[in-house]
Amino acid sequence: MNYLEQRGYLLTEQINSNSQDLDRLSSVELVDLFNREDIKTIEAIAKARSDLAKAIDISSSALSKGGRLFYVGAGTSGRLGVLDAAECPPTFCTPTEMVQGIIAGGFEALVKSSENLEDKKEDGAKAIARAKVSQLDVVVGISAGGTTPFVRGAIEAARERKATSIFISCVPTEQVQIEADVDIRLVTGPEILAGSTRLKAGTATKMALNILSTGVMVRLGKVYGNRMVDVAVTNRKLTDRALRIIEDLTDLDRERAKVLLESSDRQVKLALLMHWKGLHASAARSLLQKHQGNLRAALENQSTLDKK
């Protein structure tokens, strides 16, 4: 099928009967309509729960073995991927290469429309080659309508290199098929503004990426309870957050929490382990490394040893 000829059959391109009189609605009516339609993004995520869980499991397994996670997209889909990747280092203190975003058109496409570049399938394959994707890696192709040549080229190239492939789209499988290890369909229906997939499709995609990346980081031990214990303490806001985490979990006052944080080289996870186990930084660091940076595993293992 030549996807560039006729795309009106795609669910994301169809006309939404609920917004036929969009240009005649009052501002309040517009807001209410968006609110009603956006409920469908929650429903779409719920229906994709099993596939999202599978994506979390295989991605976290790959990253725990030294693999990388790539998001590949064009236009809105590409920008959402780059955004999610960019937020991983400050939130989870990941190295910048662990989660990466690839967008058709490169950096300039983040702030300037370059949608014509999404039509080049070979560019998607070249991007995968430049990134030196291997069998250790996971490549997530994001395409609301499912037909973006750049994304499909990237997925095909990734599979040729034996990488794990995940596809995220907002059309049902009977409309667009693809070979991927995990096929996530977020069926949000026709957009309020016909064809504008930056709306419901974009919202559902952002939600899915939130779940995927956060779930992966939880599995990698970068979260303790629901606390961001691997936060990168790089500015005043994040310093305050780090101190509050330490205060809340240890019952230390602000000044003592600050001393503990500084003695851990501003690493919250390390500070907590030092405090709870009465260890110096070097010993706590070795214990964490032994458990691949998983604070809970380090604590539970050490507690078991203490009882022997």
Residues 130, 263, single domain; the answer is no
Tell the residue number behind the tokens 């996870």, with chain if given: 269
Residue 231 domain flag: no
Residue 230 domain flag: no
Whether 118 is a known active-site residue: answer yes
Handedness of CA 206, 49, 104, 177 (dihedral sign): negative
Residues 68, 96, single domain; the answer is yes
Residue 98, SS3?
Answer: coil
| pLDDT score for 1 | 45
Query: In Å, how far are 61, 100, 161, 252 from 131, measured between CA atoms?
Result: 20, 10, 12, 45
Residues 123, 269, single domain; the answer is no
Residues 174, 302, single domain; the answer is no
Burial of 218 from C-beta contacts in 10 A (0-12 / 13-18 / 19+): middle
Domain of residue 251, CATH code: 1.10.8.1080
Residues 49, 74, single domain; the answer is yes
Which one from 13, 118, 156, 191 is the annotated catalytic residue? 118
Q: Walk along the chain (308 residues) and give the pLDDT tens digit of each residue.
A: 454 467 888 999 999 999 999 999 999 999 999 999 999 999 999 999 999 999 999 999 999 999 999 999 999 999 999 999 999 999 999 999 999 999 999 999 998 876 678 889 999 999 999 999 999 999 999 999 999 999 999 999 999 999 999 999 999 999 999 999 999 999 999 999 999 999 999 999 999 999 999 999 999 999 999 999 999 999 999 999 999 999 999 999 999 999 999 999 999 999 999 999 999 999 999 999 999 899 999 998 765 445 44
**Structure tokens belonging to residue 190:** 């026709």
Supply the range of the domain harboring residue 260: 236-307
**What does the H/E/C string look like for 200-213?**
HHHHHHHHHHHHHH
Whether 5 is a known active-site residue: answer no
Residue 228 domain flag: no
Shortest CA distance to 120 belongs to which of 154, 144, 71? 154
Domain of residue 153, CATH code: 3.40.50.10490
Residues 139, 264, single domain; the answer is no
Residues 135, 283, single domain; the answer is no
Shortest CA distance to 73 belongs to which of 201, 229, 181, 218? 201
Which one from 13, 29, 43, 87 is the annotated catalytic residue? 87
Task: Domain count for the chain, please give it.
Answer: 2
| pLDDT score for 308 | 42
Residues 44, 149, single domain; the answer is yes
| pLDDT score for 304 | 46
